[in-house]
Amino acid sequence: MHKDIVLKKLTKRISQNLWSPEALTSHCERMSQTYFDRFKLEDIEKHIILVDRLLKGETFCCEWKKSSKKQRYELTLISYDYSWLTVALTGYLVMHRFDIRKGNVFTYTEECKEKTSYRESRKKVVNVLEVVYCGEEDLLLKNQKAFEDDMQLFFEKLSNNDVEAFKGCLMNQIGSFLDQKEMINFPIMPIDIDILVKNEYIKINIKAADTPFFLFTLLLALKAQKIEVIDLLINTLDQNVYDVLTVRDTSKRLYRHSEELHKFKVAIAFIKYFTYCLPLAPDAYQAFRCFEMFLDQIWEKKDFSKQLMSFLNMEDLSLFAKIFGSGAYLWEQFLKIQYKAFVPFVIKNQDMLYRYPLKEKYEDLCGELKKVSNVEIFVDKVNQFKDECLFDLDMRQLIYPHYSFRDFGSDLSFLAQKVVMLIANFLYKELCAKKGTPQFEGRECGFALMRLGKWGGDELGYASDLEMVMIYEGYGDVTGELSLTNQAFFNLLIQKIKKCIRVKRQGIFEIDLRLRPDGEKGELAVSFNRWRKYYSEKQARSYEVQSLVKMDSICGTSKNLIEKIMQARDDILYNGELDPVPEFIKLRKQQKESLVHPRKKNVKFSSGGLVDIEYAIQMLQIKHGKHLPALRTPRTLKAMGNLLRNGYISPADYEYLSNAYSFLRRMINALRMVRGNAKDLVVPDLQSDEFLFLARRMKYKSEKGLLMQEVLEKDIEYHMGQVSDFVQKTFVDKSTNNKSVLTVSDIIFSKEEVSSDLVNQILASYKFDNSWEVYKSIRKMYKFVEHKNHFLALLLMILRQIEDSPDPDKVLFLFERLFTNVSIDICREWFYEPKILDMIISVFGHSDFLSQIILNDPMAMEEIFHWESKNVFQNHQGLKIELDQMVNNVKDMADYFDKMRRFRNKVILRIALRDFFDYAKFSQVVQEISSLADVIIDHAFQKILSFYEILHLYDSQVIIALGKLGGQELNYSSDIDLIFIIDDDINDADRKALLKANQDLIEYIMDKSIYFQLYRIDMRLRPYGSFGSLIVKESICRKYYENNAQGWELQAWLKARGIAGNLKMGRNLIKDIQDKLLDNPRRPEIEKSMKKMRQKKLNMLDKNGVLATDIKSGDAGIRKIELFIQALQINHASIYPDLISGNTVYVLKCLQHHGILECSFVNELKKDYIFLRRVEHCLQVLGMQQTHIMPNGNKELLKLAKRMRYIDFGRNTAVKAFLKDFTATRERLLALK
């Protein structure tokens, strides 16, 4: 049917109010004729209804329809057009067990009428797909809901221009999903691609075998080649795929010639099958992003297709995934070398699985270098050799499990030694030729390069630097015409060596000379006598002396000098007189204070970190090395074994330390692998993607019901805890005359009376206000619980997390109450699920109200235990389904409303957890709270009507929300402003019945029980306010707002929205009243009265001393922003109808879209608005009370600042940072006119 005929037919039905004229016109005018040929009239009608819902504010519309075929469903999804939409749609369907068999995708054309609304002008996409559900039947509804939740998150991210965040999330989800499917073993299948370039659009015909996830991987490949899908026809028949795509090529590559088209086809196949390898990448998004860049870089090469086809097997593609997904460092190294050489090196030569020919490669290099006399060429060849070998070794470490970190460290150390030796020897000869030969006692002055640190112990890792020192035999002069001392000669030589070894800043192989005598203030090269004197005459600090444990030689011109240095090293270190322990304790304290962030775990410098193991072993070597030469080794594990064999450490200690050493070395390598930076030593946040990627790089797997990152977290705590305990008992306790440091355990287990001073001293670090009361609370819990050891373990976990809480004291007191209500089995679950404990601590610290929910209602505790499955946005329909299940089979109205309160409590708790843990943005939080109120009021209204047997009157009334609920901006504790409007035609008996029902509705909703109150309802905005009837006939309402309403009453209807009953009647009434506001001859009078009313409120606040601290109504509060925006709405909405909305953030977006406000101004005002609303949130969620006044006193301000997620580093930093932002916001709003 022709589109004009469709438009004419459907225009006649506008009077039925099925859709708006705008939805009908834009849909019919902007869809291609192919769309109208493809769909029946009733389908088009359904699509227009859904488009109309978009125009009214929905993010997207999704409907499922059961097909006559078994397990088949028709999915209709209509939304605004976003980049990556088709990829997200097909990807999320795959992940939730839906296989696409047929389908159509159509996109609006670019053209649109001028002066259309923001929502109307945007392009929209109609997706109609036939899918087969491949999962378990009883999980169908859950998987449909999960798919919709993922799409909701997609639209939220894309609407905030957060494309990269979405791509990262999708790629890693797909990687995890494909991992379960073991797609890595799937065979490569041919794909027939036919391309027809036509004007600005391109038609692509696809024919191929129906491999798993075919459509998703195809669309992903197209997107990677900068191809935008406009229309899509999907058909699967007899295990074959026949897809037709209409696309636009944003890269313009396909407009050239047939060779380009062939390259495009090869690239599509290559990317498609690369997707199957994503599970092998630690970071799937990083892998895919680098893969895209790799293809872009080689696109212009003549043999592009030939090279890609040579790699088109799952073995080679797997290698790409591992390298590209391991971090930027390996990607940069990959770009440095000839990419076509790296695959044959690892894959094709199976001998290299077991032995890397580093020595042979070095010998080949030496052969090449014999013919080289030019410095630049020599240095280039050595550096190229270094970079290629580094990349090869990095790949072996990444790919082959048998290649241990010890092998890796040994090979890196060998490579470093040979590179430095080649450069040093060549530069020495070159410098002698130019400057002359250094002399000492009538002969050539010898020199030695000595290595220290990890290099000395053959223990180099990713991004390790090269610690070394240059020592020459003695003072003298250089032969030749120029007057040059040996000191100047060797200083110049070491400078040249450092310059010629090219490295990334703070990366692997960066030369570090700071362990020379006098450190950075000393000469770069030092004579033997000066070096020996510095260490033997106690000029060196303790840690400098201890560093000699790791000394070994690199190269030099005098073997005798190297032997003298090593002998002097033994005399200095192993004389039985050194006691490095006191200096060690002091140094570790300084390191923790200066190098460790108070809220982070540093794998090297935190308690139990790598340096604790290294220092501990070195101190034992120094202590016992005088009588046992075998301990004078620079290698940590070898020294550890010798200490065990000679009884200086126990077998248990050896096991703990060696395992921890291996674990921490592996972790440091995995951390540094990402950027190749030596300073990458901090464990990422446990909830972050980076921590998940770290677990993957370390080859962790999920086990015993724990996710891989949870297994890693436990290992970190275990290994670092064991090391810390060893250091404490072996060195710290003994250095304080065997008096152990008292801990929390000591005062809890103590049978003697404990003084308040001791309690304050031990609990001081946890930032309690009243440590003594906290101690008494802990003792009560300890006496109450049966399993003391479980309790102590839990308590220590709580104390570790509690200091970041806004109110640590209150958290402990609430735990005392909780321990009396829960079983020890639940306590054990907390121990194995630290995240649950973290959530409980967060709730206890943020909100008394939410804390009471947890304490009073076991069902709320279940909400926390099943947190992961509910950490998603829940729309109106999802909430309604959940509520229906909750109130099924209630006994009476009291039981119904008690269950309703429990439902509201658990959903509010769910929303708050997402809010506290930054899983939801402000706009999502207020929208969810508002949707919850909508569902509850509508459900309760219908229930009461049913109870009175007058449900048939549901469409005779509309409940209209104003204020924050009307604008879908409800706070945790906002009042809800309602107006009840009834139909004019209702008879007196029905009116009385509705009046009784509405009175009961208000009473039940405002009634309180042990499960608290549903809402506070404010009816004062109804016609004639408190003096008016509770329910108002529509005609009386219209007459009131036409003749009697004050300006502020009319303006309040800018936020009006129907939420229950006859929504059509509500929409018509709201539009008419809003039109009266916009086209009102009394508008100047209204504006004047509004200003007068506003000033009156400000005067009252000033009189009460809260003008500056009332964040809602104060002179720089939320209300000022809302009034400013509403004034613009009134002035411009007659031209731009989409400005009529109650949602402040949405209106700001529209004002920017229409050019009324500048983008920078809108962003700043939006930021200030959300900041103040978040402050309001934090004030109200504490006790679920209407409060808008900033607290007095530093203690309460600190609690507020922490609730606002400001981190306190001591010295009141959180309060200062919060007040700085608050003051800046206030100053900007004071200037707002």
CA distance 57 to 934: 15
pLDDT band at 340 (very low <50, low <70, confident <90, very high): very low
Task: Find the mean pLDDT for residues 651-655.
Answer: 81
DSSP 3-state of 683: coil
pLDDT value at residue 918: 66
Is pLDDT of 620 > 60? yes
CB atoms within 10 A of CB 1150: 25
What is the CB neighbour count within 10 angstroms for residue 1057? 23
pLDDT at 334: 61
Of 366-380, 429-443, 1090-1104, the range with the lowest mean pLDDT is: 1090-1104
Q: From 920, 874, 876, 880, select the one nearest 900 (Cα to Cα).
A: 880
Q: Give the residues across from 62 on adjacent strands.
A: 77
Per-residue pLDDT, averaged over 1178-1199, amounts to: 81
Structural element, H or E, at residue 424: helix 405-435
Reading the block at residue 585, the tokens are 């304790």
Look at residues 674, 679, 678 and name the one whose alpha carbon lies nearest to residue 692.
674
pLDDT value at residue 874? 67
- pLDDT of the residue at 211: 67
pLDDT of residue 343: 46
DSSP helix/strand/coil, 1223: helix
* Cα gap 845→766, rounded to integer Å: 14
Using one digit for the tens of pLDDT, what is the confidence trace for 276-293?
Answer: 777 777 777 777 777 777
Token output for 948: 């009175």
User: What does the pLDDT read at residue 344?
Assistant: 45
Give the total residue count for the chain. 1233
Q: Residue 675: what pLDDT?
A: 61
Least confident of 336-345, 1079-1088, 1164-1173: 336-345
Q: Which H/E stretch holds residue 1061?
A: strand 1057-1061
Identify whether the C-beta of residue 206 lies closer than 8 Å to the C-beta of residue 233.
no
Task: Report whether 554 contacts 468 (CB < 8 A).
Answer: yes
Q: Give the model's pLDDT for residue 1228.
A: 92
Mean pLDDT is lowest, of 227-231, 547-551, 938-942, for 227-231
From 519-523, 765-769, 969-973, the region with the lowest mean pLDDT: 765-769
Cα dihedral 127, 129, 134, 137, rounded to 10, equals 90
User: Containing H/E element for 133?
Assistant: strand 124-133
Look at residue 740 in the predicted model and tell me its pLDDT. Answer: 47
Task: Give the residue from 498, 495, 487, 497 showing the smallest Cα distance to 445.
Answer: 487
Three state DSSP letters for 706-732? ECHHHHHHHHHHHHHHHHHHHHHHHHH
* Tokens standing for residue 262: 């062939």
Comparing 75 with 745, the larger pLDDT belongs to: 75
Does the pTM exceed 0.85? no
Angle between helices 1144-1153 and 1118-1132 (to 10 degrees): 50
Q: Are 927 and 968 in contact (CB under 8 A)?
A: yes
- What integer pLDDT is reported at residue 1165 of this predicted model? 93
313 has a pLDDT exceeding 50? yes
List residues bridging with 553 in a β-sheet. Answer: 450
Q: Which of 343, 283, 350 is nearest to 308 (CA)?
A: 343
- Residue-wise DSSP of 58-79: -SEEEEEEE-SSTTEEEEEEEE
Does position 506 have pLDDT exceeding 60, yes or no? no
What angle do the packed helices 1118-1132 and 1159-1183 form, to 10 degrees? Answer: 130
Q: Provide the pLDDT confidence category of residue 790 given band limits of 50, 70 and 90.
A: low
* Structure confidence at residue 351 as a pLDDT band (50, 70, 90): very low
Domains of the chain: 345-573 (3.30.460.10), 581-736 (1.20.120.330), 742-846 (no CATH), 875-1080 (3.30.460.10), 1081-1230 (1.20.120.330)
pLDDT at residue 937 is higher than 80: yes
What's the rounded mean pLDDT across residues 209-220? Answer: 74
Cα dist from 606 to 294, 590, 721, whole Å: 39, 11, 11
- 10 Å CB burial of residue 786 (0-12, 13-18, 19+) is exposed
Rounded to an integer, the average pLDDT of 245-250 is: 80
Question: Cα separation of 933 and 927, whole Å?
Answer: 10
Q: How confident is the model at residue 611 (pLDDT cuts 50, 70, 90)?
A: very high
Cβ–Cβ < 8 Å for 808, 768? yes
What residue type is 123 in one-letter code?
Answer: K
| 776 compared with 1213, residue with greater pLDDT | 776
* More confident: 612 or 218: 612
Give residue-wise pLDDT tens across range 910-934: 888 878 776 677 888 888 899 999 9
How buried is residue 920: exposed, middle or buried, by Cβ count under 10 Å (0-12/13-18/19+)? buried
∠ at Cα 211 (208, 216), nearest 5°? 95
Q: 1050-1086, pLDDT tens digit by residue? A: 889 999 999 999 999 999 999 999 888 887 676 777 7
d(CA 353, CA 400): 7
Do 612 and 692 meet the contact criterion of CB atoms below 8 Å apart? no
Q: Does residue 125 register a pLDDT over 50?
A: yes
Q: What is the mean pLDDT of residues 761-785?
A: 82
* CA–CA distances in Å: residue 98 to residues 47, 147, 217, 385: 22, 10, 15, 51
Per residue in 748-769, is it b (16+ CB within 10 Å) or e — as a string?
beeeeebeeeebeebbeebbbe
DSSP secondary-structure letter at 602? B
Highest mean pLDDT among 910-919, 931-940, 1147-1156: 931-940
Tokens of residue 598, six digits: 């108070």
CA 863 to CA 875: how far, in whole Å? 18
Q: How far apart, in whole angstroms, are the C-alpha atoms of residue 1114 and residue 1125?
A: 16
User: What was the pLDDT predicted at 447?
Assistant: 96
What's the chain's average pLDDT?
82
For 911, residues 6+ apart whose C-beta sits below 8 A from its C-beta are 920, 925, 928, 929, 932
Quick one: average pLDDT of 427-439? 92
Residue 41: its H or E element:
helix 41-55
Characterize the bridge pairing of strands 443-444 and 447-451. unpaired
Q: How far does Cα 60 stand from its chain's mean position?
A: 24
